[in-house]
Chains A and B, each alone.
Chain A
Amino acid sequence: MYANLGIGIPTIIPNYLPDDIVVFFQSENGMLGVGPYPAENEADADLINPGKETVSELKGCSYFKSSDSFGMIRGGHLDLTVLGGIEVSKNGDLANWVIPGKMVKGMGGAMDLVAGGSKVVITMKHVDKNKPKVLEQCQLPLTGKGVVSKLITDLAVFEFDKEKGMILTEIYEDVTLDQVIASTACKFEVAHDLKTIKL
């Protein structure tokens, strides 16, 4: 599988991969097959990830120019994209690049990644200082409309379905359904086979 991981929470994913899964991580600055952080004496200024952190090579990795990198992203050649989010709406809209008047980060590659036709998973905190982040409609300028297929927060996991909308599919064992409802500013369905995530 080929996957792209955004900056922030998604970057910890490689630490939790089972040993029997092979994932080639794509780094949109021009690399497939990103390896773990290097040993101190192997750090290389010419070898970084999109967060500008030093990384290493996996066997079978490759390098390419930016337009090729986004060609494979836009062209739907990646299987999975995992990004951080500021807001997600019940129809799968994502906002994560600007808070007008407060924070301008720029969209970087996020708009390309969500437009590329790969499965898009968003990882983020469920609420921000008691302010809900999962909403009826995003208040912030969008990164993409109807692009999220799965949302993983510190309370629960949701899937997005074009017809059924937002569906709660998994919940952490120390979280109650009422807690999720109270922390979510939109309606959602609860899956018949709602799973519990053990910690």
Chain B
Amino acid sequence: MISLLKKYFSKRLVRNAEEAMSGIKSGNKLIFGGFGLCGIPENMLRFLINRDDIKDLEVVSDNGGTANIGLGVLMKQNKIKRMYASFIGVNPVFQKSYLGGDLELELIPQGTLAEKLRSGGAGIPGFYTRTGVNTLVEEGGIPIKYNKDGTVAIYSQPKETRIIKERKYLFEESIRGDFALIKAWKGDTIGNLVFRKTARNFNIDAATAGKVCIAEVEELVNPGEISPDEIHLPGIYVNKIFKGEKYDKPIENLVTRESREKAKDDKVIIKYIK
């Protein structure tokens, strides 16, 4: 049975990022799983960083990594034309590229972004939501692209609204992409995936919204070795899977009980508030 399964799904299992990503071209829209540096497809990111011929990408990702790891590096290399994200707060490269006019950015509330992917992957073209009502998300006017002189070249557009049971909601269109690039903890050779702790984050929603979904995993097992009750994402969503060559799993903000005690918490906090 397992050998038949393997044969049937033989194209799904690939050796590495290079083989998995052979179809990716400049101008493609890539949807990334991950939150910050947690649960990001490290091996696929490394591949894109090393491929100078792939650029003008549209990238959907909740945030943009850090200056030196992950998507931040692709930004520095100017390979991203437009980002769809909810938060750019702590990444100076992201801020600089955006405000300097090198990077277009569509800011999307985090929950709306997750739902755009979920609905996109579920065949629902859009939805009404309360999030962003009576803000610039509804009214339009959020800069998407700056000119080099700091003036705004493109603003976000106003959104359609509708009153449902006496409350106002706004309409959001779903997102689909050419490729979803995701990372799971464990997967079997036919694409059933299990995630670990908060590294699940956007990975599942992203996976469903890509025309082609590529998953990299820390651990690869045979079909049947993962209990069916424990599978978080069924293999039907996954077109290619490979075992990542190397995982650094960097921690963006390492905070421990020890480090907090050293900072003498309360004094720092009181100073901050006063």
The reply to whether chain A is a binding partner of chain B is: yes
**B163 at the A interface (CB under 8 A):** no
B251 touches A45 (CB 8 A): yes
27 A-B contacts (beta carbon < 8 Å): A12-B269, A29-B36, A29-B201, A38-B256, A39-B256, A39-B257, A43-B251, A45-B37, A45-B249, A46-B249, A48-B251, A52-B36, A52-B90, A63-B195, A63-B200, A65-B203, A67-B117, A67-B204, A67-B205, A71-B115, A74-B130, A106-B86, A109-B86, A110-B109, A112-B131, A115-B130, A125-B273
Q: How far is the CB of B36 from chain A (nearest CB, A)?
A: 4
Q: How far is the CB of A48 from chain B (nearest CB, A)?
A: 5
Q: How far is the CB of B19 from chain A (nearest CB, A)?
A: 26
Binding stretch for chain B, among A141-149, A160-168, A186-194: A141-149
**A105 at the B interface (CB under 8 A):** yes
A47 touches B198 (CB 8 A): yes
Given contacts A67-B114, A70-B114, contact A144 B197 (CB under 8 A): no
B110 touches A154 (CB 8 A): no
* Inter-chain contacts of B238 with A (CB < 8 A): none
* Inter-chain contacts of B129 with A (CB < 8 A): 74, 115
Q: Scoring A residues 33 to 64 as 1 if CB is less than 8 Å from chain B, else 0, what string do you get?
A: 00011111001111110011110010000011
Question: How many Å lie between the Cα of A123 and that of B109 in the bound state?
Answer: 21
B115 touches A43 (CB 8 A): no
| Residue from B63, B198, B203, B258 in contact with A40 in the complex, judged by beta carbons closer than 8 Å | B258
How many chain B residues touch the partner (CB < 8 A)?
Answer: 66
20 further A-B pairs in the complex, CB-CB below 8 A; given A37-B257, A111-B111 = A29-B198, A43-B256, A45-B38, A45-B199, A48-B36, A48-B251, A52-B35, A53-B254, A54-B253, A54-B254, A63-B198, A66-B202, A66-B204, A69-B111, A70-B110, A105-B88, A111-B132, A112-B110, A112-B112, A115-B132
**A132 at the B interface (CB under 8 A):** no
**A89 at the B interface (CB under 8 A):** no
Q: How far is the CB of A135 from chain B (nearest CB, A)?
A: 17
Q: Scoring B residues 55 to 66 as 1 if CB is less than 8 Å from chain A, else 0, what string do you get?
A: 000000011000
A145 touches B115 (CB 8 A): no
**B7 at the A interface (CB under 8 A):** no
| Residue from A9, A40, A43, A73 in contact with B273 in the complex, judged by beta carbons closer than 8 Å | A9
A40 touches B256 (CB 8 A): yes
* Inter-chain contacts of B88 with A (CB < 8 A): 104-106
* Inter-chain contacts of A154 with B (CB < 8 A): 273-274
Which residues of B from 219 to 260 have beta carbons under 8 Å from A?
A: 232, 249-260
Q: Scoring A residues 154 to 198 as 1 if CB is less than 8 Å from chain B, else 0, what string do you get?
A: 100000000000000000000000000000000000000000000
Q: In the complex, which residue of chain A has the Cβ closest to the Cβ of B66? A: A52
* Inter-chain contacts of B39 with A (CB < 8 A): 46
Question: How many Å lie between the Cα of A141 and that of B136 in the bound state?
Answer: 7
Q: Scoring B residues 188 to 212 as 1 if CB is less than 8 Å from chain A, else 0, what string do you get?
A: 0000000111111111110000000
A106 touches B85 (CB 8 A): yes
| Residue from A38, A47, A64 in contact with B257 in the complex, judged by beta carbons closer than 8 Å | A38
**A107 at the B interface (CB under 8 A):** yes
Q: Scoring A residues 97 to 109 as 1 if CB is less than 8 Å from chain B, else 0, what string do you get?
A: 0000000111111
